[in-house]
Amino acid sequence: MFSGGFFWMIMGALYVLLGVGAPIWAKDLGLHMTKGKWSLAIVWYLLLLLTVAAPLTALAENEGVAAFRMMMVLVVITAISGAGLARYLMHKPTS
Amino acid sequence: MAETIGKTGFSRRSFLKMGGLASAALTVVGTGGAAYHAGKDKMSYTGYESFEGEQQTYDRKRFEIDGPAYSPVGKVKRPGSFTDLVFVRVGIFGQKVKEGWTPADGIDALGEPLASWYKEFPDQLELDVQVGTVTMPNAAKDHAKYDDYFALADAYAWGWEDIFAFYPAIPTTPPEESDYTLTHAHPGGGSHDSKIREEPRPFKSPDHAAELIKKVAHRYGATVVGITKLNPDFCYADGLRGAEDQGPYEVPKHWKYAIVVGVPHEWEQVLSNPGHGTSYDGYNRVRNVSARVTGFLKHLGYPSRSHHPPFHYDLIVPPIAVDAGIGQLGRHGFVICPETGSNIRLAVITTNLEMTIDKPIDFGVDHFCKDCKICAEQCPSAAISTAESSEGMEIRGYEHWHINTGKCFNFWMQAMGPLGCRLCLTVCPYSRRNNWLHKIAKDVDINDPTGLVNNALIFMQKSLFEMPDPQEYLRPPDGRFAGYREAPEWLQVTNYLAIDPPNPQIGG
């Protein structure tokens, strides 16, 4: 189910939809996105994917303890960086 | 209104917005699913089932180094097949003990070459005495008590091993004769020998020869192949197979080139070393490849000889494999290759076919091994050095990490299951399957000149991944015959056999 050409075709379509939908959200939320801000958002999104993917791969390799420890570390990093990124993106200059 | 879809009033903008949000969630779920699949995927069992060369994935050109991989730092001495090769040494020593030798008789009573060797390494004599007086009697008791628990692992290993007796045949004549002789098998049984062609089939160039030999070796089942000129320093000094005189000998003139082939062990079983692992799958497969390549060369008219596991060698393999660019020597004495890490079993074919040789490679193993030490820390017999570097560890004129073979062999004999240990190759962080997680880690590490990734990976390996205490690998009551990881389900006897044997691995 999670491999093969059809799966990655669907995933590709979803990534495109995400790419198209994200600017609309940014506009509606009143975010003044720049290239730098988009880059940061993409990096954070990749970190989120890594937070899900790395522990699950380790888990599937029967490394349950390593998967759990990995997840704990990554969740904390992703949550803190996500909160920081959100503050930065929503910050409106006073002047 | 142009943006609305049908009669729902749902605008295209809203669709893209909600679709984007849903996609964000679905891509996370999909990536998670793909990641889980990657961890389970048998296609990540690098090289276990060879894909005709496609598993030799690393572009070694990027990591090639000029010059020889090893330079002598002292007086070079060729290794002794009756002494430095621990299996043979302990076998000969055991025979002497059977014949009545006791330590009270003194070292000289052992005769040559053992006497001189034990005088040089007196600690090894104590350890070899221990094999017969302590380790083997204990092992006999343990096997009587726990063999049933390892029954499937034993049966699986013997299934690989039992054909050792038949193929390839052990040379019974010197290389000048046997390397020039073809053994033709008859389809109905039996065989006959004949000389190889007097005029070998000429190759267009050494490049063509190397290219074809590699293609053929991969098709015969090799995961990795490399070619080098044979350095005679790495040939045994005595015990030439097939020679009447088993004393010192000159390296045969036609052993000009060495073709090194390698295959890994099965990836689930290898993690359950020592208890449920085996060497025999790798041994069996690599000796088949080696014998086939030898046959191929002989049919083209080139004399050749296979040097393969378990101990059918006239040479020591690791330095030759390093010369051939297969990988680098690790702290534990195994060659670490970029594709499969330490999980690689090697064989060598010596021949006079002129081929373009490969260069040694440096992908950072020396630096990694200096910092890592996991193999040394996990080794239950403390046979692997924990020193900060191999500097000053001169062995027979060359500098490399020192392994205490006597200590290693004592645990090797103590371990339960299908004989031997292999823990050092198992715990090596390079010995990981070929999925995205380990491939990224390896690639980033190899390409990082600062060493920061190296240190981060070692830290993660030690802090995230569970490892038994080295004591746990020992026999009860000191240990519990632990495996590095649990046996794969297909080797657990209670899953398939109607028996319920005592399980030493529970501990407590």
**B59: which 2 tokens?**
């572009």
- List of chain A residues with pLDDT < 50: none
Residues A77 and A39 in one domain: yes
With 0-12 CB in 10 A as exposed, 13-18 as middle and 19+ as buried, what is A63? buried
Do the chains contact at A57 and B24, CB–CB below 8 Å?
no
Cβ <8 Å between B27 and A56 = no
Looking at residues B157-176, what average pLDDT do you find?
85
CB contact under 8 A, B35 and A62: no
pLDDT tens digits for range A56-83: 999 999 999 999 999 999 999 999 999 9
User: Which residues in chain A touch residue B37, judged by CB atoms under 8 angstroms apart?
Assistant: 1-3, 60
Whole-number average pLDDT of chain A = 92
For B233-288, the pLDDT digits (tens) are 999 999 999 999 999 999 999 999 999 999 999 999 999 999 999 999 999 999 99
Pair A14, A50 in one domain: no
Nearest alpha-carbon partner for B382 in B407, B402, B415? B407
pLDDT at residue B1 in the model: 42
In tens, the pLDDT along B346-396 reads 999 999 999 999 999 999 999 999 999 999 999 999 999 999 999 889 999
The identity of residue B318, as a single letter, is: P
Q: Which residues of B touch A62 (CB under 8 A)?
A: 485-486
Report residue B6's pLDDT band, with 50, 70 and 90 as the boundaries: low
CB-based burial of residue B472 (10 Å sphere; 0-12 exposed, 13-18 middle, 19+ buried)? middle
Question: For A69-75, which contacts have Cβ atoms below 8 Å and span 24 or more sequence positions?
Answer: A69/B463, A69/B464, A70/B464, A74/A47, A74/A50, A75/A51
CA dihedral in degrees (B362, B363, B366, B368; nearest 10)? 180
B67-86 mean pLDDT: 91
Taking only the tens place, the pLDDT of each residue in B18-40 is 889 998 899 999 999 989 998 88
Nearest CA-CA partner of B379 in B302, B460, B470: B470
Contact B437 A17 (CB under 8 A): no
Chain B residue with Cα closest to A12: B27
Shortest CA gap A95–chain B (Å): 30
The domain of A36 spans 32-95
Kindly identify which residue of chain A lies nearest to residue B18, measuring between CA atoms: A21
pLDDT digits (tens, 9 = 90+) for B179-205: 999 988 888 888 889 999 999 999 999
Using 50, 70 and 90 to split pLDDT, how confident is the model at B5? Answer: low
Whether the pLDDT of residue B313 is over 60: the answer is yes
The pair of structure tokens assigned to B444 is: 């980033």
pLDDT, greater one: B8 or B158: B158
Show the tokens assigned to A95.
């002047």
Same-domain check for residues A25 and A36:
no
| pLDDT at residue B9 tops 70 | no
Contact A60 B37 (CB under 8 A): yes
The total number of structural domains in chain A stands at 2
Q: Sort out which chain B residues have CB atoms less than 8 A from A45's CB and list them.
A: 24
Who has greater pLDDT, B63 or B6?
B63
Tokens standing for residue A53: 């993917």
Give chain B's contact residues with A (Cβ, < 8 Å).
13, 16-24, 26-28, 30-41, 433, 435-437, 463-466, 485-486
One domain for residues A69 and A80: yes
Q: What is the residue extent of each domain of chain B? A: 12-40+437-464, 61-184+193-429+469-506
Three-state SS for B426?
helix
Q: Which residue of A has its CA nearest to B267?
A: A61
Rounded distance, CA B13 to CA B485, Å? 53
Nearest chain A residue (CA) to B433: A61
Q: Which of A2, A18, A28 sits opposite B23 (nearest CB)?
A: A18
| Statement to judge: residues A8 and A22 lie in one domain | yes
Model pTM? Answer: 0.91
Distance of alpha carbon B91 from alpha carbon B414, whole angstroms: 16
Asked whether the predicted pLDDT for residue B111 surpasses 60, the reply is yes
CA-angle at B446, arms to B426 and B62, nearest 5°: 120
In a shared domain, residues A23 and A50: no
Percent pLDDT > 70 in chain B is: 97
A56 and A23 in one domain?
Answer: no
Question: Vertex B154, ends B501 and B166: CA angle to 5°?
Answer: 155
